[in-house]
Amino acid sequence: MSRRDFSERDIHMALDGELPGDERTAYEAWLEANAEMKAKSARYAADREALRTAFNGVLDEPVPVRLSKVVLGEAPVVRVSPSRSRWWLAAAAAAILAIGGAGGYLAGIGRLGLENTAEDQLAEEAIAAHVIYAAETRHAVEVPASDKDHLQSWLSNQVGLKLVAPDLAAQGFQLVGGRLLPAGQGKAAMLLYEDVKGERISLFVTAESAAKAKGTYGEDDGPEAVYWLDKGYGCAVVGSLPREQLAAVAKSAYGQLLAGLQS
């Protein structure tokens, strides 16, 4: 049986049936030994039941005729854009009322300290930096690639890591340059690369991290970040490339960065 450290993440996975079967026993034992986590798991499970109870009744309601008519073709299908129905106004109103009506719902969240995990924060900062600077033509970087030696030593000193700009020529990307950015409580180095078509990707490196994680992060139509965090450094590669291509570039960049850090 696999032995590993469980975390809050596993509570969600267990609840959603995503925990591998062979980890289940170890997970249950971990839960038994952690009163706080066990209570949390019980609350989440109860909330899920309440959610299901609240909405299950909809399944038993008769289907409104106007909906079945659409499918059966008894009403002409003329509208493909949701311009006529204004359901989204109701959605926005509901959200505002829920916030305003309960007065301080959001303040409540703030007080209870819902915070991003380290990896989400790194990925979000890296994406934000990419969105701002990769779109810049004249001011994308502070130090250009032509001054690479200075760029590397300056960023290394500022960030507190031995930084070597990866060579991504094999993936079709050339270094444009870099800049220094704030990240969390500290600083981050951003290195910008470009291919012949003008497609840009960026590397975001910070010395601020205690967590160990790796993964992919992105919103539906924005750039994605592939990130790695380990003790003492965090790195994210951001771009709008097809997922496999971004993963390949990220892997190469990460391997070289890591070799540089340890050299």
Tell whether residue 138 is a contact of another protein (CB under 8 A). no
113 Ramachandran zone, left/alpha/beta (phi>0; psi -120 to 50):
left
Among 29, 99, 132, 169, binds another protein (CB under 8 A): 99
Distances (CA, A) of 253 to 70, 132, 227: 52, 21, 11
Tell me which stretch binds another protein (CB under 8 A): 82-90, 141-149, 171-179, 202-210.
82-90
Among 4, 33, 39, 43, binds another protein (CB under 8 A): 43
| CA pair distance 68, 74, nearest whole angstrom | 9
Tell whether residue 245 is a contact of another protein (CB under 8 A). no
Tell whether residue 98 is a contact of another protein (CB under 8 A). yes
| CA pair distance 203, 253, nearest whole angstrom | 8
Q: Among candidates 20, 26, 21, which has minimal Cα distance to 6?
A: 26
The total of other beta-carbon atoms located within 10 Å of residue 202's CB is 27
Site for another protein in 212-241 (CB under 8 A): 215-220, 224
Tell whether residue 120 is a contact of another protein (CB under 8 A). yes
Tell whether residue 54 is a contact of another protein (CB under 8 A). yes
Tell me which stretch binds another protein (CB under 8 A): 59-67, 138-146, 160-168, 175-183.
59-67
Tell whether residue 64 is a contact of another protein (CB under 8 A). yes
Numbers of helices and strands, H then E, in the chain: 9, 7
